[in-house]
Amino acid sequence: MSHQQQSQPEQEKIKHLIATYPLATIIIQSENNLQAHHIPMHLVTTSEGNTVLQGHIARSNPMWQTKPRSALVLFHGPDTYITPSYYPSKAVNGRAVPTWNYVAVHIQGSIRFIDDAEWCLQAVSRLSDMMETSHTQPWSIDDAPEDYLNQLIQAVIGLEITLDACTLKAKVSRNQTTENRQGVIDGLRTDSTSSHAPVMADWVAQN
């Protein structure tokens, strides 16, 4: 996936995280300041066998006009507050404080912009197909009138980012004892205050 050496399970976790939480925060350096852009991206294997991130932005977006050479891309997975009340050890000695668990992917890579209508059409089609799979009546790019679609495609620019360095960042209660970790899992699975709680429980259990 990148120039970093990663185990196959870790690569699969990264791929799954990007597919599940595709809205990326892309940070670039312009001439005057840092810019952050929020763009849905998806992993694609090119004909050369390289894995890259692809997406598209509005032609009016100043991002492509700054012509950045590199980017830092962040994918934010599940995150949730962890109360000390989850820990059995709290009842024993009270030595516990709140924390926050999270999972994210950090990617550094070179960036290029593709001003090509056919390329953009394929990128939009792949992304929408991926996101529509869970819908009972999935929308297809073929559902839109051709003239309407062509007009919209002319208003976007393609975006591709290499995966020169890719890191999974996971804070999932690994520093806790087995008993406290089980307390976190049990607590999160009954937590109705956070939509991420059940998913985070799985991350704690599996890592």
The per-residue pLDDT for range 147-162, each reduced to its tens digit, is 999 999 999 999 999 9
Structural domain contains residue 202: no
Q: What CATH number does residue 56 fall under?
A: 2.30.110.10
List the beta strands (DSSP E) in 50-207.
51-58, 70-82, 99-114, 156-162, 165-171
What is the residue range of 31's domain? 8-195
Structural domain contains residue 205: no
Q: Is the pLDDT of residue 4 over 80?
A: no
pLDDT at residue 77, rounded to an integer: 97
Structural domain contains residue 51: yes
Q: Binning pLDDT at 50, 70 and 90, where does residue 1 land?
A: low
Q: How many domains does the chain contain in total?
A: 1
Q: Is the pLDDT of residue 3 over 80?
A: no
77, 87, 99: which is closest to 184 by C-alpha? 87
Joined together, the tokens standing for residue 91 give 């009842």
Structural domain contains residue 3: no
Burial class of residue 75 in the structure, from the number of CB atoms within 10 Å of its CB (0-12 exposed, 13-18 middle, 19+ buried): buried
Cβ(183)–Cβ(138) below 8 Å = no
Cα gap 82→175, rounded to integer Å? 13
**Residue 160 carries which DSSP code?**
E
Structural domain contains residue 169: yes
Structural domain contains residue 124: yes
Residues 52, 58, 59: CA angle, nearest 5 degrees = 105
The per-residue pLDDT for range 46-75, each reduced to its tens digit, is 888 889 999 999 999 988 888 889 999 999
The per-residue pLDDT for range 158-207, each reduced to its tens digit, is 999 999 999 999 999 999 999 999 999 999 999 999 999 999 999 999 98
Structural domain contains residue 203: no
Structural domain contains residue 204: no
